A and B are shown apart, each in its own frame.
Chain A
Amino acid sequence: MEWEAPAIVLAASSYGEGGAVAHVLTEHHGAFRGLVRGGGARANLATWQAGNLVTAHWSARLPDQLGTLRAELVHPSAARLLSAPLPLALLSSACALADTALPEREPHPAVFGELLRLLTLLSLEVGEGERSGPAAYLRWEATLLTDLGYGMDLSACAVSGATQGLSHVSPRTGRAVSPEGAGPWRDRLLRLPPLFLDPALAGDASDWRDGLLLTGHFLSRDVFGQRHRPVPAARERLFEMVDRLAANG
């Protein structure tokens, strides 16, 4: 059993003295773990940083074995972002979410494609990544929720059926609501930033905070709550960072 495919490194933990167990995300094979011989060696550490795009080669004698992973570095996303706090926090959070939320060996091409676009945006031009990275990240989280079966329905107002001016989301059903439909329940609904409805919008720190609260509610309740696990710490730190940005205007 073996395959070779473009992959995104999600995580790597040391195994034994010189080895590592790496977790990668591929388009057609999904999230895959494998033993990396020498993965803990200094010369290989740079390759196995979260967010890096690699060409991965997995092989095992039987399909249900852990197998071994080898990789050739294609794009060092992580190295380009080490000195950029917000893009690095976005990268860390996205990789931690994909690492913990996606089921093993189940293809999620949309999640892979959006994550690849996000990492490219963040790492090719750091300034652009700081401006439009958070919006792209939030849209990726929405894609992740949809792919896992907990997607929000932002097509029309759940109350009036209106398709324009949607402003809130029901925390119970995940369906969008217009200001008129929200009525007296407005304070109990989650705010829907316009960047979820228009891919051209980058939003500001306040929109990013509202967006993280919106997707965070469903991630916490549906994706991680079902498994009685907390949302990854990297995502909590991202929220704290964006919350501070929003508070500082």
Chain B
Amino acid sequence: MGGPEIERLIALLSRLPGYGPRSARRAALTLLRQPQTRLLPLADAMEQAARSVRSCSTCGNLDSRDPCSICADPGRDRSIVCVVEGVGDLWALERAGVHRGLYHVLGGTLSPLGGTGPDDLSTRPLLVRLEEGGVREVILALGATVEGATTTHWLADRLSGFPVTVSRVGQGVPMGGALDVLDDGTLAAALLARRS
């Protein structure tokens, strides 16, 4: 169509989430039409990110600094650690701006089907952080799925030997959610988790 360079660009773009061959062709065309203002800055940003972004050795977040900007922030409450499944969950909580403590990225959930076992999760660094002291609460913010809940119970059990409060995120009716449009599972979880 337009040479192997363009084909390669389209093939690489089409592997990104939300992209297929058709949308990758459109994106490639947009980039190639304005190389100076779009393609080269994008290529530069991607190269810089590839060179500098690493996993934080403390929490597992992605950042160009190690420890990451959250772990290095002196304004954070270091006594509360929120455990999340992935970096996307960490970013979601940061967007909400409700958690002022630190994080720990687990890197997945226990999944027999996906072949993820206890050894595949980043639990050892979390236990080391707790052994070092200074943490008084661990919030387990994993998904409301069978795998997420199984991991939550398993992790809560592993943490039971530490002098920390282990809490879990609530489950139930989402903001703006009318009861009549909620699925049965969410309604059941909301009723079972009711409080006075």
Contact B153 A234, beta carbon cutoff 8 Å = no
Contact B150 A73, beta carbon cutoff 8 Å = no
Q: Kindly provide the distance from the CB of A213 to the nearest chain B CB, expressed in whole angstroms.
A: 20
> Across the interface, which residues of B come within 8 angstroms of A46, CB to CB?
183, 185-186
Contact B154 A237, beta carbon cutoff 8 Å = yes
Contact B185 A17, beta carbon cutoff 8 Å = no
Residues 168-192 of B, flagged 1 when their CB comes within 8 A of A and 0 if not, give 1001000000000001111011001
Interface residue B193 (Cβ < 8 Å from any Cβ of A)? yes
Interface residue B21 (Cβ < 8 Å from any Cβ of A)? no
Contact B112 A233, beta carbon cutoff 8 Å = yes
Q: Which of A25-33, A74-82, A153-161 contacts B (4 or more CB under 8 A)?
A: A74-82
Interface residue A215 (Cβ < 8 Å from any Cβ of B)? no
Interface size on A, residues (CB 8 A): 32
Contact B185 A52, beta carbon cutoff 8 Å = yes
Interface residue A8 (Cβ < 8 Å from any Cβ of B)? no
Q: Kindly provide the distance from the CB of B184 to the nearest chain A CB, expressed in whole angstroms.
A: 5
Interface residue B37 (Cβ < 8 Å from any Cβ of A)? no
Q: A234: which of B112, B157, B186, B192 is its contact (CB, 8 Å)? A: B112
Contact B18 A85, beta carbon cutoff 8 Å = no
Interface residue B117 (Cβ < 8 Å from any Cβ of A)? yes
* Chain B: interface size category: 20 to 34
Q: Kindly provide the distance from the CB of B17 to the nearest chain A CB, expressed in whole angstroms.
A: 6
Contact A82 B171, beta carbon cutoff 8 Å = yes
> Across the interface, which residues of A come within 8 angstroms of B117, CB to CB?
233
User: Known contacts being A46-B183, A47-B183, A82-B144, is A88 close to B149, with CB within 8 Å?
Assistant: yes
Q: B192: which of A49, A73, A83 is its contact (CB, 8 Å)? A: A83
Contact A88 B18, beta carbon cutoff 8 Å = no
Q: How far is the CA of A114 from the CA of B171 in the complex (A)?
A: 30
Q: Kindly provide the distance from the CB of A215 to the nearest chain B CB, expressed in whole angstroms.
A: 18
Contact B146 A91, beta carbon cutoff 8 Å = yes
Q: Kindly provide the distance from the CB of A43 to the nearest chain B CB, expressed in whole angstroms.
A: 8
Contact B145 A80, beta carbon cutoff 8 Å = no
> Across the interface, which residues of A come within 8 angstroms of B168, CB to CB?
83
Interface residue A141 (Cβ < 8 Å from any Cβ of B)? no
Q: B185: which of A49, A99, A232 is its contact (CB, 8 Å)? A: A49
Q: How far is the CA of A76 from the CA of B186 in the complex (A)?
A: 9
> Across the interface, which residues of A come within 8 angstroms of B17, CB to CB?
17
For residue A44, which residue of chain B has the nearest CB? B183
Q: How far is the CA of A79 from the CA of B145 in the complex (A)?
A: 8
Q: Kindly provide the distance from the CB of A133 to the nearest chain B CB, expressed in whole angstroms.
A: 15
Contact B112 A96, beta carbon cutoff 8 Å = yes
Q: Which of B17, B150, B185, B189 has the most CB of A within 10 A?
A: B185
> Across the interface, which residues of A come within 8 angstroms of B110, CB to CB?
233, 237
Contact A17 B149, beta carbon cutoff 8 Å = no
Q: Kindly provide the distance from the CB of A37 to the nearest chain B CB, expressed in whole angstroms.
A: 15
Contact A92 B188, beta carbon cutoff 8 Å = no
Interface residue B128 (Cβ < 8 Å from any Cβ of A)? no
Contact B18 A17, beta carbon cutoff 8 Å = yes
Q: How far is the CA of A151 from the CA of B183 in the complex (A)?
A: 40
Contact A76 B153, beta carbon cutoff 8 Å = no
Q: Which of A52, A75, A99, A234 has the most CB of B within 10 A?
A: A234
Q: A79: which of B18, B150, B184 is its contact (CB, 8 Å)? A: B184
The 5 closest A-B pairs by CB, nearest first: A79-B185, A76-B185, A82-B149, A85-B153, A46-B185
Could you pull out 23 A-B pairs where Cβ atoms are within 8 angstroms? A17-B17, A43-B183, A47-B185, A49-B185, A50-B146, A51-B146, A73-B183, A73-B185, A75-B184, A76-B185, A78-B146, A78-B185, A80-B192, A82-B171, A83-B171, A83-B192, A89-B150, A96-B112, A126-B192, A233-B110, A233-B112, A234-B112, A237-B110
